[in-house]
């Protein structure tokens, strides 16, 4: 079932609600620069198991509206609140990948986890994607600035290069082409705006405010959100479990999809 949910007077986000009568509900928040379709290898296994899987395209990405503004974590978290309210969701597992995981953390802190009973973080860009004083574990500010400049200059090449470091396991050329096209569905300005948000946003104060059981899944070979970020999340969220994926990079949802789906189903069940 498809929905376009109004989150601001002139902005609607796209939501794909699979198996609305399922026993347990998972709301998936995708990472940059893709959209909810990145989780199709989760939908294919979890829906037949009886789960309700809801995929949301963040504003600026996929089939959602693409306004020129509103790409800070607070606004993106507020969009999640609008979706949860519009669909009347409660007692759900909120799952987020990369930037989507960071926004999910902000949602839990900013909206006191409204409607959410469990949180699942996949290769999340938290507590900070970039290095900061006292936190040397992220990527460099210069690397993000290079992504932004590359997006201005040649966005398809930037997306192609990003895809090259995304997965640890070999993927087929057709799969690589498909993943590349997900990034092209985003607007160039939203792609840039979220990149700028990485440099401005940090979630050190958000982590202790999470009060629900939290599952942290993270690839040991992640070249985007390095594994020490997962360890910092585990340290900062008191009721959390960290499961390293030894044969995965940033795209652990595909690198080790069977194990990923088992762990997520066990946690959400």
Residues known to be catalytic: 98, 222, 250
Whether the upstream peptide bond of residue 127 has omega within 30° of 0, thus cis, is yes
Other CB atoms within 10 A of residue 119 CB: 28
CA distances from 71 to 67, 103, 143, 194 (A): 9, 10, 20, 6
Contact partners, residue 70, CB within 8 Å, separation at least 6: 8, 11, 59, 76
Helix (H, G, I), strand (E, B) or coil at 189: helix
Nearest to 177 by CA among 150, 152, 159: 159
In the three-class reduction of DSSP (H, G, I as helix; E, B as strand; rest coil), residue 73 is classed as helix
Alpha-carbon distance of 263 to 269, in angstroms, equals: 10
Q: Distance between CA atoms of 8 and 5, rounded to whole angstroms?
A: 9
Taking the C-alpha atoms of residue 215 and residue 245, their distance in angstroms, rounded to an integer, is 13
For residues 206 and 101, the answer to whether their CB atoms sit within 8 Å is: no
């Amino acid at each position: 079932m498809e929905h376009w949910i109004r989150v601001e007077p002139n902005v609607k986000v796209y939501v794909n609600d699979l198996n609305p009568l399922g026993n347990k509900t998972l709301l998936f928040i995708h990472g940059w620069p893709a959209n909810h379709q990145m989780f199709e290898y989760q939908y294919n296994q979890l829906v037949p198991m009886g789960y309700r899987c809801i995929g949301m395209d963040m504003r600026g990405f996929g089939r959602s509206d693409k306004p020129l503004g509103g790409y800070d974590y607070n606004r993106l978290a507020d969009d999640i609140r609008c979706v949860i309210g519009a669909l009347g969701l409660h007692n759900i597992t909120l799952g987020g990948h990369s930037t989507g995981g960071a926004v999910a953390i902000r949602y839990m802190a900013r909206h006191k986890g409204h409607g959410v009973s469990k949180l699942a973080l996949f290769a999340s860009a938290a507590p900070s994607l970039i290095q900061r004083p006292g936190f040397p574990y992220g990527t460099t500010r210069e690397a993000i600035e290079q992504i932004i400049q590359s997006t201005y200059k040649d966005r398809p090449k930037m997306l192609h290069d990003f895809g090259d470091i995304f997965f640890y396991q070999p993927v087929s050329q057709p799969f690589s082409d498909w993943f590349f096209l997900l990034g092209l569905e985003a607007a160039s300005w939203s792609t840039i705006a979220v990149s700028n948000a990485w440099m401005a946003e940090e979630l050190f104060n958000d982590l202790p405010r999470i009060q629900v059981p939290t599952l942290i899944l993270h690839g040991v070979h992640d070249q985007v959100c390095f594994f020490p970020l997962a360890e910092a999340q585990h340290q900062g969220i008191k009721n959390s479990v960290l499961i390293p994926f030894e044969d995965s990079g940033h795209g652990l949802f595909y690198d080790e999809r069977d194990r990923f789906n088992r762990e997520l189903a066990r946690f959400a069940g």
